[in-house]
Structures are given as C-alpha cells and as structure tokens.
Structure 1
Amino acid sequence: MGPRISALWRTQDKQLAPCHVGRVTAVAPQDPVASAAFAGASAVDKVTSSRSKVARRSLYSCYTLYFRRWRYYEDRARRNLRNRAYNIFMKNKYKKAMKKVLRYTVELIYGDKQPASHQEVMDEVKEMLDEACEVIDEVTVQGVLHRNTAAKRKDRMFRAILRGSEKKGLITRPSVEEDPQNRFVPAYKIIGYELPECNYVREPRPWQLPGWKSPWMLKWEWEKWRKLTGRK
C-alpha cells in the first residue's frame, strides 16, 4: 500500500460522520483529491465503514447479553436462584456446626476456663467436633464444598484446640529440634483425636426427587385453584 493510500485512510477516519447505535453507515471522504486518488487505487474497491465508539461500547451492556432475553431468562434465573439457595443452606449448616467448636476454643484461649487436663478438654469438645466433621463431610459429598476446603476447615478446628490446650499448659508440641519431621505432624494427631469415618453417598437434590414442587409451581397451582373456585 503506497503513501497516498495510507494518507487516504487517515483522512477518511477523521472525516467519518458519527453513525447511529446498532447501524453501520458508509461515508465517503470529502476531500476531492483524496477521492480521486481513492477512485484510482487498485488495492481498495470501496469505502469500509466502522461503528462509532458509543455504538461499540453499547454492545457490552448487560441489556444486550444472552441472559436478558425474555424467552428463557426467567427459567434460567429460577434455576440459578434455586441452586444458590441450596448451596447457601448447606454452607450455613456446616458453619453453624463449626462455630460451636470455635466458640469453645475462644473461651479456652482467652477466657477463664481452666481444665484439669487435655483429656478433659477433649471430652468436652469431642461431641461437637464429631458433629462438625460429619456435617463437613456431608456438605463435601454433596458437591457444595471442595474437598481441599473441607480439609482446611477441619484443620482450623484442630489447630484452635491445640492452641488452647498449649496455652493452658496441658499439652506440648513435638520438638522440631529432635526430629525435623515433627513440623509436618497434623494437629489432630497431636491432640489425640480420631477422625470419624465418612460413609456418605451423594444424594439427589430435592428438586430431582419425584413429587417435588418448586415455589413457583405451588404459586401457579394456587392461582389456578383460585381462578377455578372464584376466590380472591
């Protein structure tokens, strides 16, 4: 492409009129010299058009994306809401079980609680710890919580119990100077806790069971019944 054609393209970009949103408009250059040069050029056959900056940016609006299309947006939004509500319910379930253990450890670390031995601490917290571990296993098997995240949540409770017992002088960590591998010993082994065995099998979601009705189904049935009976 020669220098005259390059100059023509620069002139064309400056003299293009702004186009309307959503429509492409072809505008010829206004300079007669450039027009003649453009007409005699063999490399270019016609003027190419482009959208304005406002039109290009409008394409990124959420009102033009696929999830704003009325044909299937409602059903997709309902499914997303249903799945999100189930995940929130399952997450709240294991968080409530964890808080029982964490509240006990906070009282053990910062409160006036003074157990006689570490075994007494484990006797008080073992039932809550078993419940929390079983709930975390259930939520993980259901696919709401990642298995690595579940392991971190359990380890958080074990380390909190270890810190509390260590602060009260009821237990001591294995010395790293004696054996460097002691730094890798997990907290549940130090506190002497045995993890409950997980035998959960993934169950279907409630909406995958026969006879299940969503809130929208119940609302439609209620409106249909009200219309048939003539009640308000």
Structure 2
Amino acid sequence: MSGKLSGKVAVVTGGAGGFGKGIVQKFKQEGAEVIIADFEEEAGQKTAGELKCEFQKCNVTSRQDWEALVKFADEKFGRLDYVVNNAGTTYRNKPTNEVTDEDFDKVFAVNVKAIYYSANVIVPYMQKKGTGGSFVTIASTAGIRPRPGLTWYNSSKAAVINATKTMAVEFAKDKIRFNSVCPVVGMGTGLSDLFLGKPENEKAFMATVPLGRGSTPKDIGNVCAFLCSDEAEFLTGIDMPVDGGRCV
C-alpha cells in the first residue's frame, strides 16, 4: 500500500489497544510496516493479526527486550525508521501524600525509563544506518498543564517532554527527530478511569474541553503519522497538544 509512510518500518510500544492500536492502524494505512511491542501477548497477537503487522513481546522497562526488538526489526526488515513510545501507566487519581513507593516506581519506570532505553538502544542503530529517523513520545497534557491528584504521573510526563526536546537538539545532526504528542484524557482507553478517579467524573471533565470530548486513538494516530512523515521533516523538539483546546 502506498502512503506517506510507505517503505518505512515503525515500532509502536503498547500497540495492542487504546491509543497504540489507533497509531498502528494509521501507520498501516499510510504504508508502513509495523511492529507492535507490547507486554500483553494475547492482545498484541490479536491486534497484529487483525491489522496485518508483526508482534514482539516487550517489557519496555527491560533493556534486553529493547535490544531484542531492534534485532527483530533488523532481521525482519533490515531497517527501523520510527519509534512511537506509546506505552504508559498511571495510578488512580488521589492525594499526593497517599501515593506509594510502588506507585511512584512503576510510573517512572514505564513512563520515563522506557524512553531512556528506547533512545539508548535505538539511536546508535539509526546512527550506524545513517538514514535518520523519528521518535514520537506519547506524553500528556498533564505534563504541560498539571492538576492535583496525579503529581508523580504529571511529573513523569513533564520529564519525557523535556528529554524529548533535549534529544531533538542533540541528535539533529544525525537527522533523527524527536517530538512529543500530548493527549487529553482518552475516550475509551484503559487508563481513563484512573485519570478521572471514577467514571462519573467524566462528564464534568469533558465540560472543560472546548471541543467537548477526549482524545481518541484516531486523533493520536493521525498526529503521530504526520510527525513521522516527510511532511514534518522540519519539526523537531515540539510537544503538540491533541486536546480539543484544553490547554488554551
């Protein structure tokens, strides 16, 4: 299939469902070969079969799994052009003093350390290939307009936004671009209830979004595909809100 990502190869972490599945679907529509990297093997295999892409079981907090992922991509396709760091986690919205050590460690391992591993393992591969590349981090409006109840989740997303900007400058010489996408609370994603605290808070929260709804997998897929494409070749180091005006 021809498209603006035709002939390219992408890894999408957490691609089995939610925003990740929307990203995978859009990349396939635009002609890319896609590897779903997900810890949920059954769901990942199902999505890979449905969307006709590859699946590699991956714990994004494991350097060894990232190394295996690059090896798989190179052996299967001989290249890796795009990395979408979509996998993320949170804890249930609650007062900061009630956050546990386990909550904190998990959020920073999945949301921050995984980004470190992705760059630490894949940037050298791209530098060696010499063909450039594109990293997109799924951050959050929480990283740029934080609100109470999710202090350390918000902080983890602010950290990856900052890291993304820093790497955008550092690796520009290698034609490797780094950008962040900042969704507002997603509609129908697995973490929505945790962000909102309880389902009945959804209506009140959506009333604060000028366009009146949350981010969808389609919204995020569209923006990620654009940022990876040649249409965005002069964009690096940005954090793009996909939030219906929430951060205005």
TM-score range (shorter-chain normalised) is: under 0.3
- With normalisation by structure 1, the TM-score equals 0.26
Structure number with higher relative contact order (C-alpha < 8 Å, ≥ 6 residues apart): 2
Structure whose alpha-carbon radius of gyration is higher: 1
- With normalisation by structure 2, the TM-score equals 0.25
Name the one with the larger helix percent. 1
Name the one with the larger strand percent. 2
